[in-house]
Amino acid sequence: MDKTTVLQVSNLHKSYQETEVLKGIDLTVQASEVVVILGPSGCGKSTFLRCLNGLETFEQGDIALDGQILDPQKTSWHQIRQKIGMVFQSYDLFPNMTVMENILLGPTKAQKRDPKQVAEQALALLTRVGLSDKQHVYPRTLSGGQKQRIAIVRALCMNPEIMLFDEVTASLDPEMVREVLEVILDLANDGMTMLIVTHEMNFARKVADRIVFMDAGKIVEEQKPEDFFMQPQSSRAQQFLNVFNF
C-alpha cells in the first residue's frame, strides 16, 4: 500500500533579524510516522516546530499539509492549527477553568462541535491517560505530569492530523517524565502521526520510526533509530550522543 504524505516541508528558511536560524529544511512525514528531531540546544528545533504551526513566520520555503501548501500570507493559521496539534514545555492551561472546560474550549468554540459529543471524547481520552477523575478539578490542584497529560488530551480533542511535541517533559520532575512519555508511546502505537523534539534519548530510540538530527539550522542526518544510535554518520551527531553517554 502506498504511504500517504501528511507533511512536506521544502527549503524552509527562517531568520530572526540578521541571524538565519533555519537554513533550508527539507522534511517529509508520512501518515502514522513518528519522527523525532534531535540536536544541540539552539540548533533551531523549536523554531522549526513553531513555523509548522504558524507561530513563527518564515522568509522562504514551502510547508504543505495533505498536499496543500500553507501560504503564510494567505493561510488562515487558525484553521491550520486545528489540523496540527502542538504541545509545549509549558502546559498553558487556563487556571480559572476546570480540566474539562479547558479541553472543551477549542473543539466547541473554534470547531463549533457539539459540547456533549466532545465531552464524551474528552472523557474517553482522560480515561486513557489515567485522569478521568480529574475532569472537574482546576489545574492548580494537578501535578506537572498530570497537567501535561491534560494538555495532550486537549490537543487530541481537536482531532489533529499530526501532533507536534516540543520538549514536553523538559520542565517535569523526573518521576513525572515517564507518565507523560508513556502517553506519547501509546499514541505512537495507535498510529498517530507525530513530530517530537526531546532530550530523552531512550524514549527517542523507543518511539521513533526515524531520527532527524539537526545542527546549526540544518538537517545533518536522517536515520532509523537503531542506526542513528549505533552508528551516527556525522561527527556532530557522534559528539552529541557522547554527551548523553550513548
Interacting residue ranges for ligand ADP, rule: CB under 6 A: 16, 21, 39, 41-47
Q: Pull the grid cell for residue 19.
A: 541571524
Q: How far is the CB of 47 from ligand ADP (least distance, A)?
A: 3
Q: What does the alpha-carbon distance between residue 169 and residue 198 come to, in Å, rounded to a whole number?
A: 8
Q: Which is nearer to ligand ADP, 84 or 197 (CB)?
A: 197
Q: Which is nearer to ligand ADP, 55 or 97 (CB)?
A: 55
H/E stretch holding 209 reads: none
Q: Which is nearer to ligand ADP, 59 or 186 (CB)?
A: 59
Q: How far is the CB of 1 from ligand ADP (least distance, A)?
A: 35
**Among 164, 172, 158, residue whose Cα is nearest residue 103:** 158
Beta-bridge partner residues of 10? 62
- Cβ–Cβ < 8 Å for 29, 13: no
Q: Which is nearer to ligand ADP, 156 or 165 (CB)?
A: 165
Q: Pull the grid cell for residue 184.
A: 506519547
H/E stretch holding 164 reads: strand 162-166
Q: How far is the CB of 53 from ligand ADP (least distance, A)?
A: 13
Q: Residue 202's CB: how many other CB atoms inside 10 A?
A: 11
Q: How far is the CB of 43 from ligand ADP (least distance, A)?
A: 4
